[in-house]
Every structure is written in structure tokens, then in C-alpha cells.
Amino acid sequence: MPDKASKRVIVFDTTLRDGEQSPGASLNLTEKLEVARALELLGVDVIEAGFPITSPDDFEAVRAIAREVTKPAVCGLARCVPKDIDRAAEAVAAAKRPRVHVFLATSRIHRQFKLRKARREILRLAVDGVSRAKAAVPDVQFSPEDAARTEPEFLAQVVEAVIDAGAATVNIPDTVGWSTPERFRALIEYLFDRVANIAKAVIAVHCHDDLGMAVANTLAAVQAGARQVEVTVNGIGERAGNAALEEIVMALRTRPDAFAGCSTNIRTNLLYATSRLVSRVTGLAVARNKAVVGENAFAHESGIHADGVLKKRTTYEIMDPRSVGLARSKLVLGKHSGRHQFRRRLGELGFRLSPRQVDGLFGAFKELADRKKEVFDEDLVALVESEVPRAPETWRLCRLTVATATGGMAAATVELQNLKTREHRRDAATGDGPVDAIFHALERMTGVRLVLEDYQIRAVTSGTEAQGEARLQARHGGLSVTGRGVSTDILEASAKAYLSVINRVVARV
């Protein structure tokens, strides 16, 4: 049995109980089984599968998980009420390692306003609850709800009594996220000092994130000797949620110096996949900046950071992305990215460009990055294909303004530069629509008349900031020419595509 001196930390996952209590996160039986299988594969030690007394569906879900999961203990939650305890014991009966988790509030505010019971009655109910559960299953856990706000001397008295009654694990919850790391650590140390029989049980902690300190409080408790952590995947749960499994596990793994070498049996390379599964079935999105499993957790946009990571990963990454299930770091291209990062990514995409071409593209890339929060590989491909001409450029688009009115004509004002003469030209034209007006203006300014044969537009990348690609085919005399243009503005993309055809025509004349 793990004790204060043990380096092994038991991971008690309550995603399917407390996590499911997140507003809007209700799961059906199929989804619960899918998550339970993933948690077993992940290597959690205990799965709290639900609160069986609450509904027939919850009872059936706990029972189904108990029958299917073989490696972790399967736990059912119960109040210190006989019918709750009996129902929970029945639900987990088929488990290879069944556990019943009984709880009872102990803080003054809960005793006075919720339970309306004196300390003596609370103590009796706690002991009776543990004794009844112990008669049904060999593994019993007890939680004094709102322990962090309970008078320490009374809490010690309760903990000692329930251990004597047969509780193998005593969980100390910060039910409302009220505590702070220093205070919570002191509370756990106090219990180790004051509870005579504490070595007979595993001390666990269950921290909520109302003030954003669930992970910090949990880790402080581990430093004080707690050897079971109650967590949820992605930190989901009541109100602001619980301590996040992935953050606790990776903190212990990454900073053994700070936690006396404590570790878990979690297969960390499955953390990312498990996170995404829970997000998918609950419908609760993972924040981009979420530690360990967020989309930006291993992403670098800053040129200084990216350059450091390219030279030595540990300059800006304290965890290897492969350790949580990612193939590599994500060097995000954006307005803060540097030229070295830009050049390297173009090379990875297979482009062999001269330094002059790269320098020219870098300016266009910066302009694009000012319009988009993130530049994807597809954007780079489109940028290269659009900005690196297949024929010598004569005309370059400088500015485009379009005005349209419902039921009326569209007008386009275009400014071009002749790259051979350095002359700027500005003209306007009307048309049946904005694209028609743009094409008329380009023809008037360049003197090249085309017959449009095909015109298509599509999104290059996803999202509201996606670049649009315009592809067209036009005829000039007996010559059929294709053109392509890309921009976050599809009208600008269309103008670039038409102008690319004009440039290819001029180059051939």
C-alpha cells in the first residue's frame, strides 16, 4: 500500500463522474464505455465511473464499465446514506477491483446550512457509511466534503475515525476551490502529524479550479505526502472544473526534482489522443492555450523562439511533444515569424528558391500574416505559386477598390504598376458584377483583350480567415492561357489571376 514515503502516485480519474457534471457534458452509455476503455489504455489506476443512485442510466453505465474494464479499479460514488451505498456496491459488484467511494460534508458551513447536524452526528454518519460500504466491498474510500474549509482538528478526528472503520483511502477535497497551495500543503502535513493511524490509508486529494489553483493545490499536497490525485481529462468538471490529469502527470514527470521523484503509471504518449476523445464526446472544446494538450502547447510563432527551438528544442520547450503523443513541435508562421523560420518551412515543403526569391516572398508573407492570425502550409504553397511568376511580370496589382449595389452595376477602380517602366496607372470600369468590372478595368489599362473560358474560386484553407484561390482560363487570339491568384479577398484573388494571364500573354507577344 503506498504511503507518504512511496514515490508512486495513484491516478484516480473522475472524468466520467465529476467531469460529466460539467454543464452540457452528459454522455450516453456508448460514449462512457469509449472513454473508460481509453482511460484503461492510458493507465489510470482508478476510474470513478459514476454516481449510481442518481439515475437508472448512471447505474447501468457504472455496471457496464465494471464488467468491461479489468485493469483499473472501478469506483461508484455514494453519500453516507444506506440506499446510496447499497446501490453503488451493486453497480461495481462485477468489477475485478470494485471500490465504493462514500462522502459526507464536514465543514461548518455545510453542517450548519446544508446538513443541519452537529459534529458528533457527522462523525457517526461517516463511520456508519464506511462500515456499511466495507461490508459490501473490500476497497472503500471516504471523502470529507469541503475538507479545505473544515476546522483542522475536527477534520483530523473524522479522518482517524473512518480509517479505523475500514477506509483504505481518505480523500481530502478542496470542494469549492477555496484553498491556496501553501495552505493546502499545510493542511495535509497537519493530518500526517495529528492522525495516529494515517499510515494505514492512502491520503488522496480532490481539488477544484474555482480560483485557478486546482493543479497547484494538488501538487502541493503531493509534496506534503498525498499519494492519490483525483483528476479529470482536460480538467473538466463542476463549475470551473477539476485538476487536469495531463497537467498533474506531466508536472510530476517533468519536475521530479520538485516532487521527490514521484511518478505515475500513465502512458503519457496517449495524453493528446485521450484529450481529444474526451473533447469530442463531451462537446467541450480544449482551449488553444491549454497546458500540455492545447493546440498552442508546443507551437512557436515568435521568430526568436522558433529559431531557438530549431537549434536546441529545450531552449523553449521543457517537454518533448512526443512524450504526450504529438509527432513534433508546431512552428506556427505568423506576423512574428522570422526569415529563417520562413525559409526553413519553404524548404520542408519542397520549394527550391533563390535567396532573392525568398526575400521577395517574405515581404508578401508578412503582408498575408498581418491579415491572418496563422499562416498554414497551404497558404505558403499558394503564396509561392502566386508570387513566383512562371512568366516575367510586366504588370503588378497595387490597389483594388470595388463598389457594388443591389440591383445595379458594379464599379472597380484599379491601380497597376508597369515593372518595366516603373509607371503607375489608375483607371476604373463598370460591369455586371464586381469580377466583371475588375476584368474590364484590367483590359483597359493593359490593352490586352481576353475571352474568358473558365473561372473558378475555392478556399485554400479553412476558417473565416481562409485564403481564396481564383483559377481561370482565357483565350487571346489562338492562345489559351491559365492563371491563378490567391488572397484572403476573393476579388483580389480574381484580379491577380486575370493579371497573371495578361502577363503571360504579354511575355509571349
Question: Do the Cβ atoms of 496 and 487 come closer than 8 Å?
Answer: yes
- Whether residue 186 lies inside any domain: the answer is yes
Confidence of residue 136 (pLDDT cuts 50, 70, 90): very high
Asked whether residue 4 is assigned to any structural domain, the reply reads: no
For the stretch 430-448, pLDDT in tens is 999 999 999 999 999 999 9
Residues 202 and 68 in one domain: yes
**Alpha carbon of 62 to those of 32, 100, 279, 390: distances in Å?**
9, 11, 21, 64
**Are 367 and 408 found together in one domain?**
no
Domain total in the chain: 3
Query: Do both 335 and 437 map to the same domain?
Result: no
In a shared domain, residues 104 and 163: yes
The pTM score is 0.69
Instruction: Verify that 405 and 379 share a domain, yes or no.
Output: no
> Which domain CATH number covers 49?
3.20.20.70
CATH of the domain at 442: 3.30.160.270
What confidence score (pLDDT) does residue 473 get?
83
The domain containing residue 381 runs over which residues? 300-313+325-387
Band (pLDDT 50/70/90 cuts) for residue 317 is: low
CA 462 vs. chain centroid, Å, equals: 19
Mean pLDDT, the chain, whole residue set:
87
Residues 362 and 450 in one domain: no
In a domain, 289, yes or no: no
What are the pLDDT digits (tens) for 248-268?
999 999 999 999 999 999 999
CA diameter of the chain: 101
Angle at 168 between CA 167 and CA 170, to 5 degrees: 70
Enumerate helices (H) and strands (E) in the chain, giving the number of each.
16, 16
Residue 1 lies in a domain: no
Amino acid identity at 211: L
Q: Is residue 172 one of the residues assigned to a domain?
A: yes
Closest by CA position to 222, among listed 250, 194, 248: 248
Q: pLDDT tens digit string along 176-228?
A: 999 999 999 999 999 999 999 999 999 999 999 999 999 999 999 999 999 99
Mean pLDDT of 307-323: 62
Residue at 293 is within a domain = no
Task: Judge if 354 and 402 occupy the same domain.
Answer: no
Q: Which of 387, 416, 432 is the last residue of a domain?
A: 387
Is 84 in the same domain as 229? Answer: yes
| Domain assignment present for 262 | yes
Asked if 441 and 381 sit in the same domain, the reply is: no
| Within-domain flag for 493 | yes
My answer on whether 370 and 450 are in the same domain is no
DSSP single-letter state for residue 208: B
In terms of domains, do 226 and 177 share one?
yes
Per-residue pLDDT of 321-341, as tens digits, reads 778 876 555 555 666 677 777
CB 411 within 8 A of CB 403: yes
Mean pLDDT of 292-321: 60
- Shared domain for 97 and 193, answered yes or no, is yes
Which of 371, 387, 403 represents a domain boundary (last residue)?
387
